Chain A
């Protein structure tokens, strides 16, 4: 199916473990984004990518790593998960000059 998908949809992990959240879009949109959603903060940008092999930090990048070897994929890795990274993570993509299309979200719990 066309669109933007995220996997897993739910994840429980332990402090110190590495976790990778996947994001895949079928539109070949140039831009992709990772946001985290926390109560009272709305959505905050973690990292974004303007094209394959081009990534940059957003508002809250610490503790996260991204890569974009292919246009359609934009994985987000928590190298050593902390409890403060318990959140709902949204991936989004956007073609040039348009607006974001959001994925369904991944709910991550770090114990």
Chain B
């Protein structure tokens, strides 16, 4: 069974500082990996995804993530955080399943707070 761990429940960074959110997964084959962002009271918005190919993927809002197979990680990064980035971030892993295709398993989330 696949699983996702986001070790940091809360992270606080100063505006303009760099950001890295950690995500570790467990899956027996090459996974499909996703990062979603959820603003307060809102649904989930896809930031980026990795299916195959280049292990460094670019997403929206200036985010990027790097797939490292040897470390089973898919950490999310942003070089300079803006106050509007304050939200909850979810990493998810998808596995091929004949019934539902890419069923997603989500991590517990990391809540990002941004200091002025």
Chain A positions near chain B (C-beta within 8 angstroms):
31, 33, 35, 40-45, 48, 50, 56, 58, 90, 94, 96-97, 99-100, 102-105
Contacts and interface: CB of A to CB of B under 8 A. Distances in A.
Nearest to B9: A40
Nearest to B106: A42
Contacts of A40: 9, 108-109
Contact of A44 (B36, B46, B99, B106): B106
A36 to B, nearest CB: 11
Contact of A41 (B34, B44, B108): B108
Contact of B101 (A35, A58, A96, A102): A96
Nearest to B94: A99
A35 B109 CA distance: 14
Given A42-B90, A99-B46, A56 B101 contact: no
Number of contact residues on B: which range applies? 20 to 34
Interface string B86-111: 00001010100001111111111100
A48 B103 contact: yes
Interface in B21-64: 34, 36, 42-46, 49
Contacts of B108: 40-42
A100 B106 CA distance: 12
A61 to B, nearest CB: 14
Nearest to A100: B104
B89 to A, nearest CB: 10
Nearest to A95: B101
A110 to B, nearest CB: 20
A70 to B, nearest CB: 19
B32 to A, nearest CB: 8
B109 A102 contact: no
A30 to B, nearest CB: 8
Contact of A45 (B42, B44, B101, B103): B103
Contacts of B109: 40, 42
Nearest to B91: A42
